[in-house]
Amino acid sequence: MIGDNERPEFWVGHIRMETDKLEESESFMTTLGMRPIFKNDKLAIVELRAATHLLLVAKEDIEPGDASFDLMVDDLEVTHRRLIEAGLSPSDIVEGRIHNSFKINDPSGHAITVNSSHASGKAV
């Protein structure tokens, strides 16, 4: 068992999303606040907190829908306001049982849920 001041041993390494608009999707993710790591004509990698990498994979024909992952932020209202000020169009914030959240569509049409945080407050 890990102590309160120790980081958990595991974290998510990679998550993946297909896009038919690689350049725009990478730019969108960096506008959200992710760090660009690598890009070629078939793949862009951006980095999230805890060194998790989002792999944006170029594909001609995609079926937009809900992303296979969600995101979490420390201050949902501040993030929501910042994205509006950046010219993006997040949905309204909705109150949930555990998280408040909003959705935002990436340029390829995938809907990404952004949740309020309920982190433990311990080292992560």
pLDDT per position as a tens digit, 37-66: 999 999 999 999 888 999 999 999 999 999
DSSP structural state of residue 100 = -
Q: How many CA atoms lie within 13 A of 77 on its CB side?
A: 1
Is 80 exceeded by the pLDDT of residue 73? yes
pLDDT over 90 (residue 121): no
Question: What count of other Cβ atoms lies within 10 Å of the Cβ of residue 67?
Answer: 19
Whole-angstrom distance, CA of residue 4 vs CA of residue 120:
9
Residue 122 — very low, low, confident or very high, per pLDDT cuts 50/70/90? confident
Which sequence spans correspond to the domains of the chain? 14-116
CA distances from 99 to 23, 33, 74, 116 (A): 31, 20, 12, 5
Q: How confident is the model at residue 9 (pLDDT cuts 50, 70, 90)?
A: confident
Nearest CA to 7 out of 92, 121, 97, 99 is that of 121
- Euclidean distance between CA atoms 48 and 53, whole angstroms: 6
CATH class for the domain made up of 14-116: alpha beta
pLDDT at 15 over 90: yes
Supply the pTM of this predicted model. Answer: 0.90
Q: Rounded to an integer, what distance in angstroms lies between the CA atom of residue 65 and that of residue 106?
A: 10
User: What are 19-42's pLDDT values in tens digits?
Assistant: 999 999 999 999 999 999 999 999
pLDDT computed for residue 11 by the predictor: 84
Round to whole Å and give the CA distance between 29 and 35: 8
